[in-house]
A and B are shown apart, each in its own frame.
Chain A
Amino acid sequence: VILVGITTVLTLLPRPAVSQPLREAELKAAVVAKFPQFVDWPPSLGSVIDLCVAASEEFSAVLRAFVDGEGVNERGMLVREIGRPESIEGCDLLFISGRSAREGRALLAAARSLPILTVGDSPTVMDDGGMIGLRMVGGRVRFEVNPVAAANSGLRISAQLLRLALAIRGGG
């Protein structure tokens, strides 16, 4: 078997030169924007996938730019910023970044009983009960997945996504 890498991911999103934090935010937003394709939510959902962001405003803007006009299975995607755990109502995906551990834990706890895909980039997000945890590896965004936690919330994560995961976590 010969495996030859031809292209580089660098050319995926050609953007003007930006600052390091912005660049990382763009990479993460591109990944997050694609997760809905590999997740099956329970039926009786609305016609729009609500992408709730608990992160910086820049990230929201970048993500909004990515999902603008995009859709999954004829469902459009909408980016919403949330601050408090109470406003989690109606979210389909929750991205947590740049928050304190306590804040993060509260948001995750609030989302636990709801069909919400929880994604974070803190090192402890998986331990706190998150379903997908983003990690920067060699300039590239990789992720860990806890399909059990997702299943507990009524979600099913695609096997293909699982195959791409850095690690599969269990429990939660």
Chain B
Amino acid sequence: MRSWFSALAIHRKLVVIALAVSGIALATATAGLITFDVFRFRTSAATSVRIVAGMLAQNLAAALVFEDLSEAGEILSTIRTQSQITTACVYRADDSLFAQYERSAMLCPARPVALDDWRSVGVIVPVTRGGTTVGTVYVERSLSDISDRMSVAAMASAGMLAIAGLVAFGAANRLQRVISGPIVELADAARAVGTGPGQELPSIDAPADETGELARALRDMVERLNRGRAELVSANEALHREIDERQRMQEEREALLARERAASRLKDEFLAAVSHELRTPLNVIMGWAQLLATAAPGDPAFVRGIASVLRNAHAQRRVIDDLLDVSRITAGKLQLKFHRVDLRSIVQSSLEVIAPAVSAKDVLVESKLPDGACLVRGDHDRLQQVLWNLLSNALKFTPSGGKVGVHLVQSDSHCILTVSDTGIGIEGSFLPHVFDRFRQADGTTTREHQGLGLGLAIVKELVELHGGTVRASSEGLGKGATLSVTLPSLSGHEWPGRDEGTRGAESEPLLAGISVLAVDDDLDTLEVLGSALRSAGAGVRLASSGAEAVDLWQQAPSDILLCDLGMPHMDGFAVLSSIRRLEAGSGDAAPALALTAYASEESRVQCLDAGFEGRITKPYDATQLVRSVAQAVGRLPVPQR
């Protein structure tokens, strides 16, 4: 019952409650009314019986006194209209039965005793005459009509209940909407919030009672819920962003780490290569030096030995030059001296330089050059370096019997130089790294083919400093490689400088008639220096210390001073200042060049500040040395800085 009721919808509950309440009230009232009616009816029945009995007693006195039975019967018969009276009895004064009237077969009691039960009510009334009691009348009335009356009342009540129930049902059905309407609406809204997207609570026309309060509370709750959800969403997004950011940073860090590892590995490999490259010629030089130290003069091995020592010293110097170049380029301190340069003559001279190596290796070189000059704006020496690097690279990787092609083409705006070979070629995957520093195709290549792997890197940097581009291409391993350099070309009148590249070979020694004082504490270096200058035609005096140099200068000044900077007791700067003091009286100032192993720009500035015209960095080759000296004394023009 309870669960059945609690499972009902609220509007049905209201109807049921209304029906139950009105039904109970009506039933109670009806029961009370019926009870009251029965009681009253009973009372009035008793009263009417008493009246009848009294009337009979009044009239029966004479009949009793004179023992007239027929008269008594007649008087008794007057109550025949009272259909509910079942018995009427007349007793004498001594309570003996005198006469009786009977509607039913009921007998008179032996003695007159009042009766009062649910079936019937009996009253006794004394018969008096002249102040004495002459007898008693007993009248009994059946109460059977009460149950009739009750059943009629019950039926009427049932009918009334039914009608009232219908009316109450109708009324409750209409009136319950006042209460259940907002609740049902609220429930629908709450359900919509619970199951749907639920961003907004539909506005509810809520009354100003508890339902309204509930609606307002629900709306507040939904708003708070939405706020919370929005905060959650934004927090979630922030979290996602942070996670993404961290992931990205992690990936960057890993990539960086990988690059650093690769770089570190490259540097290790490079260091190994450097030490190998430096050690190999050194071994040869030391070997020959030991042999020659014990060999008798005039031994034919001398010529071969000296040649070998020179070759290996050159090779070692090249390695060091390359390293220094790369260092300069990396530091951005490479200074280019731009002139109008004929690329064709550089190519020609380069081919002449490598000709001995070409013939030694039995490689065929095919060159195809334009008829006219191919002018570019550039640094002659650096472009020469580019050519050497490209050619020596091609030679290095081309086996005996192979071919190297050198093509120079002058287009409208560019000079395009192509060096191709039939060598080992380049693997497709390595092509992008051909120009990377410290990078060679792999370890085995490094072992088979000597070198630091810096050649092409230097080529690329130099060409790009000239505003040109380099490209490498290869059909694959074993199919040869092609490197092409494109430089912007100059038309004849664009550069009004001298044409350095077309300079012819020197007809007479550059330094003929020039006196030179060379100072170095290292006697070997001093020896080499002296022979190089003498072969250029200069008159040379040598000093192995600063003091000796100052003494020599005091005896007779020279046309130019070549002085090592780092010497014990008296360094280069002190030597120069002493000589300048000696010169102070004459008013003459001979040019001075510093010899130094420090190639940095700093040391250059330091030299200039100290009064040196320039400096020659060790190691130096004879040609460069001679050119620098010639420039310092005005035998050669000084290149613009």
Give the chain A neighbours of B73 by CB distance below 8 A: 1, 3-5
**B131 and A164 form a contact (CB under 8 A):** no
- Whether the Cβ atoms of B62 and A38 lie closer than 8 Å is yes
CA of A119 to CA of B150, assembled, Å:
58
For A72, list chain B residues within 8 Å (CB). Answer: 130-132
Decide if B63 is an interface residue (CB 8 Å cutoff). Answer: yes
Q: Assess the B131–A160 pair: CB atoms within 8 A.
A: no
Chain A residues lying within 8 Å of B61, measured Cβ to Cβ, are 37, 160
- A-contact bits for B129-170, CB 8 A (1 contact / 0 none): 111100000000000000000000000000000000000000
Is B330 an interface position by the 8 A CB rule? no
- The answer, yes or no, to whether A12 is at the interface (CB within 8 Å) is yes
Q: How far is the CA of A6 from the CA of B97 in the complex (A)?
A: 8
- The contact of A4 among B74, B80, B100, B129, by CB within 8 Å, is B100
Pairwise interchain contact B70-A7, C-beta atoms closer than 8 A: no
**Is there a chain B Cβ closer than 8 Å to A18's Cβ?**
no
A5 to B96, CA, bound (A): 13
| Pair A164/B62 contact, Cβ less than 8 Å | yes
- Give chain A residues whose Cβ lies under 8 Å from the Cβ of B96: 7
Which residues of chain A are within 8 angstroms of B277 by Cβ–Cβ distance? none
Chain A residues whose C-beta falls within 8 Å of the C-beta of B68 in the assembled complex: 164
Task: Specify which chain A residues have a CB less than 8 angstroms from the CB of B65 in the assembled complex.
Answer: 34, 37-38
Indicate whether A9 reaches chain B with its CB closer than 8 angstroms. yes
Query: Cα distance A158–B60 when bound, in Å?
Result: 12
Chain A interface, DSSP helix/strand/loop, else mixed: mixed
Kindly list chain B residues whose C-beta atoms are within 8 Å of the C-beta of A70: 132
> Could you tell me the distance between the alpha carbons of A158 and B129 in the complex, rounded to whole angstroms?
11
Nearest CB in chain B to that of A70: its residue:
B132
B408 contacts the other chain (CB 8 A): no
* B480 → A minimal CB distance (Å): 161
Question: Is A86 positioned at the interface, with any CB of B under 8 Å from its CB?
Answer: no
* Given A1-B77, A7-B98, A71 contacting B71 (CB threshold 8 A): no
Nearest to A38 among chain B residues (CB) is B62
Q: Report if B102 contacts A (CB, 8 A).
A: yes
A74: B residues at CB distance < 8 A: 131
Q: Is A2 an interface residue (CB 8 A)?
A: yes
B129 partner residues in chain A, CB cutoff 8 A: 37-38
- For residue A47, which residues in chain B have a CB less than 8 angstroms away from its CB? none
Complex CA gap A52/B66 in Å reads: 21
B461 nearest CB across to chain A (Å) = 159
Number of A-B pairs whose CB atoms are under 8 Å? 68
Give chain A residues whose Cβ lies under 8 Å from the Cβ of B417.
none
Please determine whether B66 and A34 come into contact, CB atoms closer than 8 angstroms. Answer: yes
Whether B71 lies near A163 (C-beta < 8 A) is yes
Min distance, Cβ B424 to any Cβ of chain A, angstroms: 159
Known contacts A2-B102, A31-B66: does B71 contact A37 (CB below 8 Å)?
no
Decide if B69 is an interface residue (CB 8 Å cutoff): yes
A45: Cβ under 8 A from any B Cβ: no
Closest residue on chain B to residue A49 by CB atoms: B130
Known: A72-B130, A72-B131, A73-B130. Contact between A9 and B99, CB under 8 A? no
B67 adjacent to A9 (CB under 8 Å): yes
CB 8 Å contact bits of A117-128 with B (1 = contact, 0 = none) = 000000000000
A12 in contact with B70 (CB, 8 Å): no
Chain A 21-42 per-residue mask, 1 if CB under 8 angstroms from chain B, else 0: 0000000000100101110000
- Residues of chain B within 8 A of A4, CB atoms compared: 73, 99-100, 102
Q: How far is the CA of A145 from the CA of B389 in the complex (A)?
A: 189
Contact A3 B131 (CB under 8 A): no
Decide if A161 is an interface residue (CB 8 Å cutoff).
yes
Q: Which of B100-114 contact A (CB under 8 A)?
A: 100-102
* B474 within 8 A of partner (CB): no
Instruction: Tell me the minimal C-beta distance from A150 to chain B in angstroms.
Output: 16
Cβ 8 A contact of A71, one of B70, B76, B77, B131:
B131
Distance (whole angstroms) from the CB of B127 to the closest CB of chain A: 11
Interface string of A141-170 (1 = CB under 8 A from B): 000000000000000001011011000000
A9–B129 alpha-carbon span in the complex (Å)? 19
Q: How far is the CB of B70 from chain A (nearest CB, A)?
A: 7
* Contact with A160, one of B59, B98, B99, B132 (Cβ below 8 angstroms): B59
Nearest CB in chain B to that of A33: its residue: B65
Q: Is the CB of B98 within 8 A of A6?
A: yes
Q: Which of B169-195 contact A (CB under 8 A)?
A: none
Residues of chain B at the chain A interface (Cβ within 8 Å)? 59, 61-63, 65-71, 73-74, 76-77, 80, 96-102, 129-132
Interface pairs A-B: 7 shortest CB-CB: A160-B62, A3-B73, A72-B130, A37-B130, A1-B77, A9-B67, A37-B129
Interchain residue pairs with CB less than 8 A apart (15): A1-B73, A1-B77, A4-B100, A5-B69, A6-B69, A6-B98, A6-B100, A9-B67, A34-B65, A37-B65, A38-B62, A38-B65, A71-B130, A164-B62, A164-B71
Q: Apart from A38-B129, A70-B132, A160-B61, what are 10 other A-B pairs with CB-CB below 8 Å?
A: A2-B102, A3-B101, A4-B73, A6-B98, A7-B69, A7-B97, A12-B67, A37-B129, A73-B130, A163-B71
